[in-house]
Amino acid sequence: MKAGHRGVNVIQRILRNHGLRATPQRLAVGGMVLSRPVHVTARAVWEALRKTHPAISMNTVYQTLGQFEAQGLLQRLEVGGVTVFDSNTTPHDHACCESCGAIEDVPAAGDTSGSCPRPPEEGASGWPAGWKLTGVRRVWLGLCPACRASGGEGAPPA
Ligand SMILES: [Zn+2]
Ligand SMILES: [Zn+2]
């Protein structure tokens, strides 16, 4: 029995519903990123899969994640210059720990009443001309609970 095979039927169904053939690579990558909410880099997925799929290449993992993104199964974020794939595709902001890099979903700022922040009108002063702005994604920087607890906040050691 291989670990990580639970939910393979679910992944197969998700792939089929999005017009993707359930190849072994897609099932392997999908099992890591589509079975639960995650924020992962292509490298982290590759390093985790390498143990059970020695033949899988970093390039295959990256391409597969891109195919999932193109089908709306993932969204891509840039956090601190790193590309992170997010399996939560609903609009939301992120909190990123400046100490360990942990990323967590947080509600979209200014969205407490259920209405999204409005983009400025086209040509509004101070905004570059010619752009049609449709939305904003924010990354809040801070310290995660684990790093705060371990003194990352600058607290003197006990
Ligand atoms: Zn942290
Ligand atoms: Zn997210």
Backbone angles phi, psi at 50, to 5 degrees: -55, -35
Among 77, 71, 110, 87, which Cα is nearest to 37's? 87
105 CA to middle of ligand 2, Å? 5
pLDDT at 80: 77
126 CA to middle of ligand 1, Å? 36
40 CA to middle of ligand 1, Å? 15
The fold of the 90-147 domain, in CATH, is Dna Ligase; domain 1 (3.30.1490)
Q: Which ligand is nearest to the CA of 79?
A: 2
Count Cβ atoms below 10 Å from residue 54 Cβ, excluding itself.
7
149 CA to middle of ligand 1, Å? 9
DSSP sequence for 28-92: HHHHHHTSS--EE-HHHHHHHHHTT-TT--HHHHHHHHHHHHHTTS-EEEEETTEEEEES--SS-
82 CA to middle of ligand 2, Å? 14
Whole-model pTM: value is 0.76
DSSP state of 94: E
Instruction: Determine the Cα angle at 32 with ends 8 and 57, to 5°.
Output: 105
The fold of the 8-79 domain, in CATH, is Arc Repressor Mutant, subunit A (1.10.10)
92 CA to middle of ligand 2, Å? 6
pLDDT at 25: 94
Residues in the chain predicted with pLDDT less than 50, given as ranges, are 1-4, 112-114, 155, 157-158
Please name every residue paired with 77 in a beta bridge, in sequence order, or none if there are none.
84
85 CA to middle of ligand 2, Å? 8
Q: Which ligand is nearest to the CA of 38?
A: 2
Q: Which ligand is nearest to the CA of 102?
A: 1
pLDDT (tens digit, 9 = 90+) per residue, 24-46? 999 999 999 999 889 999 999 99
Domain spans, the chain: 8-79, 90-147
Amino acid identity of residue 122, one-letter, is: E
Cα distance between residue 65 and residue 37, in whole Å: 14
Protein residues placing their CB within 5 Å of the ion ligand 2: 86, 88, 105
3-state secondary structure of 97: strand
For residue 80, is it left (φ>0), alpha (ψ between -120 and 50) or beta?
Answer: left
What is the four-CA torsion angle of 76, 43, 105, 74, rounded to 10 degrees? 40
